[in-house]
C-alpha cells in the first residue's frame, strides 16, 4: 500500500539523513521525499511517500518518533488530505507543433513559463496522476528535460484545532526551556 507520511522536524543539519536512513535500513525505497520550512523557521515538514504494508509502516513511524529531532509523525494515508506535485517540463515546440503543445498545456491548467525558438518550459501542478498524464502526452512531442518536486501533502481543515493545540504546546515548551 502507498503511504503518505508527514513529519514535523527540527530544522537542523543531519535530520534528513537520519530519517532517510531509517527507511533504507528497513529495505524501503522512498518514492518521494519533499522537505521545506514551515511558518516557524525552526521547524521543517517532510512529506514522505513510500510503499509498504500498514504493520511495517507503523513500526517505521514508531522508530521515527524515537529520533531526537522529530516533533510529530502523521500517516496521512487514512485521513482526508490534499496532495500536490509540481513538474517543470522542457518540451520541443517546433513551429508546426507549438499550437498543439499549447492546447495540451491549457487542458491541464498548466503554464508556459519559458519560450524559446524550439522549446517551451511548462509548469504543471496537481495530483500525481495529472502530472503523469500530461507527461505521457508531451512525450509525443519530445521531452528534453523533466523535473518533479515529489508530493507535498497537508491534512484537510478538520485538523486545524489539533494543529493549533500542537503549536501552543511547542511554544509553551520553548518558553519553559528558556526559563531553565
pLDDT digits (tens, 9 = 90+) for 87-101: 999 999 999 999 999
Q: For the chain, give the percent of residues with pLDDT over 70.
A: 87
CATH 3.30.70.260 fits 2-79, yes or no: yes
Q: What is the pLDDT of residue 25?
A: 85
Of 32-36, 41-45, 48-52, 98-102, the least confident: 48-52
State the fold for domain 82-152: Alpha-Beta Plaits (3.30.70)
> Average pLDDT in the 145-164 region?
81
Domain extent listing, the chain: 2-79, 82-152
Q: What is the pLDDT of residue 180?
A: 54
Domains 2-79 and 82-152 are alike in CATH topology: yes
> Average pLDDT in the 88-115 region?
97
SS3 track for the chain: CEEEEEEEEECCCCHHHHHHHHHHHCCCCEEEEEEEECCCCCEEEEEEEEECCHHHHHHHHHHHHHCCCEEEEEEHHHCCEEEEEEEEEEEECCCCCHHHHHHHHHHCCCEEEEECCCEEEEEEEECHHHHHHHHHHHHCCCEEEEEECCCEEEECHHHHHHHHHHHHHHHHHHHHHHCC
Supply the pTM of this predicted model.
Answer: 0.78
Dihedral angle, C-alpha 19, 24, 25, 27, nearest 10 °: 140
The residue with greater pLDDT, 167 or 139, is: 139
Amino acid at each position: 500500500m502507498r503511504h503518505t507520511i508527514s513529519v514535523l522536524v527540527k530544522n537542523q543539519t543531519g535530520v534528513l539523513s537520519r530519517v532517510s536512513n531509517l527507511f533504507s535500513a528497513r529495505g524501503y525505497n522512498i518514492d518521494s521525499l519533499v522537505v521545506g520550512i514551515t511558518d516557524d523557521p525552526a521547524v521543517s515538514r517532510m512529506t514522505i511517500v513510500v510503499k509498504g504494508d500498514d504493520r511495517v509502516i507503523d513500526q517505521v513511524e514508531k522508530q521515527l518518533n524515537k529520533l531526537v529531532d522529530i516533533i510529530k509523525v502523521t500517516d496521512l494515508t487514512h485521513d482526508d488530505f490534499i496532495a500536490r506535485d509540481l513538474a517543470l517540463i522542457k518540451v520541443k515546440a517546433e513551429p508546426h507543433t507549438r499550437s498543439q503543445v499549447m492546447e495540451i498545456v491549457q487542458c491541464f491548467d498548466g503554464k508556459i513559463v519559458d519560450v524559446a525558438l524550439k522549446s517551451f518550459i511548462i509548469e504543471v501542478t496537481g495530483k500525481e496522476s495529472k502530472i503523469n498524464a500530461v507527461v505521457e502526452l508531451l512525450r509525443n512531442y519530445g521531452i528534453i528535460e523533466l523535473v518533479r518536486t515529489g508530493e507535498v501533502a497537508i491534512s484537510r481543515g478538520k485538523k486545524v484545532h489539533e494543529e493549533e493545540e500542537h503549536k501552543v504546546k511547542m511554544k509553551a515548551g520553548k518558553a519553559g526551556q528558556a526559563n531553565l
